[in-house]
């Protein structure tokens, strides 16, 4: 089990931009400072996901959550009823939210949850930061429900694995999006949807997904981030009217990573696309198709298709 000194160590690691696996009541998460682009990129790299999916941001308090996202009455009611606990709320990002754009994969919504586990809460409070925390497994494998499983999956990438014993639920949190219209059940999970409907009335369910593609969106909530300007990949130079997003030696108005470091490029990707958006077009330098480059190219391809 885990001592106060271990929590302090883990919190220092988080503040230094490192990764810490931590227990929650659902499954073990791979934690990192949600406001640190490089740390969030390291989470994607450790999990080996072929694409950037938006991550849940873990907080320890509704007040803290309200600094990150915009709560309406319905969101407040759900948070008061079910937090701390296995409910994740997808809400509009607050204008001054410090959360990394990579954490939300460029979307202007954020998924937030306050986990009901003393070690998770202690870690978030000691770090003084909101934490991203996808399940602490490599992509395509089962979510770990013990510290030993988490260590076997991702012990190499994490500075520490906090041991909180076996997880109470062993199943991920229920994800509900609140926007205009009915709340949408994006992911069934540990909190029974009936309990949520008792508070909100009927939930809408998105159409079933094919394979591991994200579910198609009813409305805007699940759209992938796409710039307004047309995007061109594999560009060696900008054409007239285009803004250039460079990589390595192929320079531009902005450069994802002058040293051609894919983790740095991932960390900068969404924030830089947003900065260059709104011009005639965005030309993006070639990105190698390896490691995090695969996830970067996946996002660029989707954005290029519009
Ligand atoms: O139980 C859990 O939720 C675990 C523990 C560790 O807390 N965490 C977890 O995190 O499962 P993660 O980041 O893997 O969950 C991401 C889920 C995905 O279904 C993702 O599509 C959805 O949350 N999600 C995150 N941000 C979103 C957003 N802005 N809009 C829509 N869905 C979002
Ligand atoms: Mg998972």
* Domain boundary assignment for the chain: 4-200, 231-304
| Better-predicted residue by pLDDT, 160 or 222 | 160
Residue located nearest, by CA, to atom 3 of ligand 1: 173
Per-residue confidence at 207, pLDDT binned at 50, 70, 90? low
Which residue has its alpha carbon closest to ligand 1 atom 19?
187
For 188: left if phi > 0, alpha if psi spans -120 to 50, otherwise beta; the answer is: beta
- Residue 50 — very low, low, confident or very high, per pLDDT cuts 50/70/90? confident
75 and 178 Cβ atoms separated by less than 8 Å: yes
Say if residue 108's pLDDT is above 80. Answer: yes
Q: Which of these, 199, 202, 204, lies nearest to 77 by C-alpha position?
A: 199
Residue 31 Cβ inside 6 Å of ligand 1? The answer reads no
Asked whether residue 218 carries a pLDDT value surpassing 80, the answer given is no
When the pLDDT of each residue in the chain is averaged and rounded to a whole number, the result is 92
Question: Is the CB of residue 84 below 6 angstroms from any atom belonging to ligand 1?
Answer: no
- d(CA 204, CA 216) in angstroms, rounded, equals 13
Residue ranges near ligand 2 (ion) with Cβ within 5 Å = 135
The CATH class of the 4-200 domain is: alpha beta
Q: What is the mean pLDDT of residues 167-183?
A: 93
Residue 90, strand partner residues: 111, 177
Q: Is 147 in the pocket of ligand 1 (CB under 6 A)?
A: no
What are the distances in angstroms from CA 268 to CA 37, 39, 183, 247, 273? Answer: 7, 12, 32, 11, 8
In angstroms, the CA 93 to CA 183 distance is: 17
Whether ligand 1 lies within 6 angstroms of the CB of 172 is answered as yes
Ligand 1 pocket mutation, candidates 60, 88, 132, 183, criterion most atoms within 8 A of CB? 88
26 lines ligand 1 (CB under 6 A): yes
Average pLDDT for 191-218: 73
Give the distance (Å) from ligand 1 centre to CA of residue 212.
14
Centre of ligand 1 to C-alpha 134, Å, is 7
- 190 C-alpha to center of ligand 1: Å? 13
Please give the pLDDT value at position 3: 84
Pick the closest to residue 27 from 145, 179, 128 (CA basis).
145
CA dihedral 268, 294, 34, 1 (to 10 degrees): -150
CA torsion sign for 45, 273, 110, 225 is negative
Q: Select the more confidently predicted residue: 49 or 166.
A: 166
pLDDT at 306: 65
């Amino acid at each position: 089990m885990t001592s106060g000194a271990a929590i302090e160590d883990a919190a220092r690691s988080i503040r230094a931009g490192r990764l810490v696996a931590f227990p929650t009541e659902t499954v073990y998460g791979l934690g990192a400072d949600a406001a640190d682009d490089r740390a969030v990129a390291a989470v994607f790299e450790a999990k080996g996901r072929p694409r950037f999916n938006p991550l849940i941001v873990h907080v320890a308090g509704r007040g803290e959550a309200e600094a990150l996202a915009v709560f309406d009455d319905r969101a407040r009611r759900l948070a008061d009823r079910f937090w701390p606990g296995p409910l994740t709320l997808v809400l509009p990002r607050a204008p001054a939210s410090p959360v990394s754009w990579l954490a939300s994969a460029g979307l202007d919504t954020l998924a937030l949850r306050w986990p009901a586990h003393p070690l998770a809460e202690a870690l978030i409070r000691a770090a003084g930061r909101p934490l991203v925390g996808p399940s602490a497994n490599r992509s395509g494998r089962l979510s770990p429900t013990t510290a030993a499983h988490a260590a076997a999956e991702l012990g190499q990438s994490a500075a520490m694995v906090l041991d909180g014993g076996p997880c109470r639920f062993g199943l991920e949190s229920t994800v509900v999006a609140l926007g205009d219209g009915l709340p949408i059940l994006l992911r069934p999970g540990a909190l029974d949807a009936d309990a949520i409907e008792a508070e909100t009335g009927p939930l809408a369910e998105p159409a079933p997904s094919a394979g591991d593609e994200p579910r198609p969106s009813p409305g805007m909530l699940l759209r992938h981030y796409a710039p307004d300007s047309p995007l061109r990949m594999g560009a060696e130079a900008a054409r007239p009217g285009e803004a250039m997003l460079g990589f390595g030696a192929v320079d531009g108005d902005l450069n994802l990573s002058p040293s051609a470091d894919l983790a740095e490029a991932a960390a900068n990707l969404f924030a830089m696309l947003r900065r260059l958006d709104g011009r005639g077009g965005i030309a993006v330098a070639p990105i190698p198709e390896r490691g995090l480059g695969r996830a970067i190219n996946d996002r660029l391809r989707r954005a290029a298709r519009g």
